A and B are shown apart, each in its own frame.
Chain A
Amino acid sequence: MRYALQFGDLLPYWHVLLGGLIFTIVLTLVSTIVGIGLGTVCASIRAFGPRWADAIAGAYVELIRNTPFIVQLFFIFFGLPAAGVKLSETTAAFLAMVINLGAYSTEIIRAGIQAVPKGHLEAGESLAMSRIEILRYVVLKQAFQKVYPALCSQIIIVMLGSSVVSQISAEDLTYAANYIQSRNFRAFEVYFVAALFYLVLAISMRAILRGIGHVIFPKA
């Protein structure tokens, strides 16, 4: 190979990479919290809500799970303004991430809810608990405990998928890499370093999420 790799050319741009990394982390954090909240609501509706609401939530889940994230993103960022909803690239990125994770977590949490033994629901009813109380105190905690590992994997997959938001100029880690390679033309080096950043992020997220799991569900 005649080409000599020059990682030194990245050093003047370290703050750009750092800024991108922070954006990616914040984007992941916010969309995880809001997305799982959305998923919990939709999963509860699918399990206990009226049939029409179940159908709507089901259509939402299937539509998102069977289309690529980049198309959802383009639809929100380019398509919605035509219908009168204008969003900045950052807002569009956050919105698309929440909608995407919301759909996947709905399916995961619903599986957890279905795994709760029916006797537990009946026990709640016999204690004169309302449906919301049963959901809150009996069902959801067990459901989350059961599907926590699956939920963690999905969060990491969504974090990796967030690299696509660079395509609408949201300034994440991939956007930073694109910016740097357009300045110093060291494309391979930049993308290699950015890929390592993602790898470290994924590995540390897995460790952190496992730690949080031990705290929330001590027995598991």
Chain B
Amino acid sequence: MSDFSFWVILSNLLLATRWTILLSLIAFVSGGIVGLALLFARTSGIGWLQNLTKGYIEFFQGTPLLMQLFLFFFGVALFGLEVSPWVAAWLALTFWTSAFLTEIWRGCVEAIPKGQWEAGDVLALTYFEQMRYVILPQAMRIAIPPTVGFSVQVVKGTALASIIGFVEVTKAGTMLNNATFRPFLVYSLVALIYFALCFPLSYTAKKLERRLYAAR
């Protein structure tokens, strides 16, 4: 029954890690794109647009990621479309990530002194020009550490995709555990793999944060 050697378990987990990494990357990039669009809406100064974005953020930050996964998995199917775990996980993680990134980036945009906006106004720049040439280049500098820090949450968030049947490390761990009955070993390895993925990211975030404060 447990003919699986340590190396077989480890190599299977590492193979599944590809999908964790890929899903994390895709979710982070598409979440970043949606988040950037929402950032423009959130800071646009147009009342109804800001409120709409606020509601969106409130919903995705105020409900569990697991619920969002279920809602996309079962919700899109209501439109008569076949949803694979891939698509549901990608959609849910994208919306979830975008909500958090928008809030993080809004904080960075608001940290830019008001005089910078006024200077843009004086030069007759449009809102988009002000963002593009004045505000975002400055906001980006302070946005990098928390953004890198949040990427850790995205990697950990992909673990929940296992629940809707997406085979990444956690799901592979569950399957290997069912085959080998060695839960202590399997889940220790799974945890170590996540640690190996996440620790460099959180370490980098901390270093970047220190450097930013030192520069001031």
In the complex where A78-B183, A167-B163 touch, is A72 in contact with B64 (Cβ < 8 A)? no
For A74, give its contact among B71, B78, B174 (CB under 8 Å).
B174
B162 in contact (CB, < 8 A): yes
Chain A residues with CB below 8 A from B184, complex form: 75, 79-80, 82-83
Residues of B within 8 A of A (CB): 58-59, 61-68, 70-71, 74-75, 77-80, 152, 156-157, 159-160, 162-163, 170, 173-174, 177, 182-184, 186-188, 190-191, 194-195, 198-199, 202
The answer to whether A71 and B63 touch across the interface, beta carbons within 8 angstroms, is no
CB distance from A212 to the nearest CB of B (A): 19
Choose the segment among A89-97, A129-137, A187-195 that binds chain B (4+ C-beta atoms closer than 8 Å): A187-195
CB distance from B57 to the nearest CB of A (A): 12
Chain B residues with CB below 8 A from A1, complex form: 78-80
In the complex where A82-B182, A160-B64 touch, is A71 in contact with B194 (Cβ < 8 A)? yes
The answer to whether B70 and A164 touch across the interface, beta carbons within 8 angstroms, is no
The answer to whether B74 and A174 touch across the interface, beta carbons within 8 angstroms, is no
The answer to whether B156 and A63 touch across the interface, beta carbons within 8 angstroms, is no
A210 in contact (CB, < 8 A): no
* Range of interface residues on A (Cβ < 8 Å): 35 or more
Chain B residues with CB below 8 A from A166, complex form: 66
Residues of A within 8 A of B (CB): 1-3, 5, 62-63, 65-72, 74-75, 78-83, 160-164, 166-167, 174, 177, 181, 187-188, 191-192, 194-195, 198-199, 202-203
Provide 21 A-B residue pairs closer than 8 Å at the C-beta atoms, listed in order of the A residue. A5-B78, A62-B199, A65-B202, A66-B195, A67-B195, A69-B156, A74-B190, A75-B187, A78-B177, A79-B183, A81-B183, A83-B184, A160-B63, A163-B66, A164-B64, A166-B66, A177-B67, A188-B77, A192-B75, A199-B58, A203-B58
CB distance from B213 to the nearest CB of A (A): 13
CB distance from B10 to the nearest CB of A (A): 16
Other than the known A160-B62, A164-B66, A199-B62, what 12 A-B pairs have Cβ atoms closer than 8 Å?
A66-B199, A69-B156, A74-B174, A74-B190, A82-B183, A161-B64, A162-B64, A163-B64, A174-B66, A188-B71, A188-B75, A202-B61
In angstroms, Cα B50 to Cα A94, docked, is: 39
Tell me the interface secondary structure of chain A in the complex: helix
Q: Which of A3, A74, A164 has the most C-beta atoms of chain B within 10 angstroms of its own C-beta?
A: A74
Chain B residues with CB below 8 A from A163, complex form: 64, 66-67
The answer to whether A74 and B173 touch across the interface, beta carbons within 8 angstroms, is yes
Chain A residues with CB below 8 A from B156, complex form: 67-69
In the complex where A1-B78, A63-B195, A78-B187 touch, is A195 in contact with B71 (Cβ < 8 A)? yes
Question: What 7 pairs across the A-B complex have the smallest Cβ distances?
Answer: A68-B159, A163-B64, A66-B198, A78-B183, A187-B74, A202-B62, A68-B156
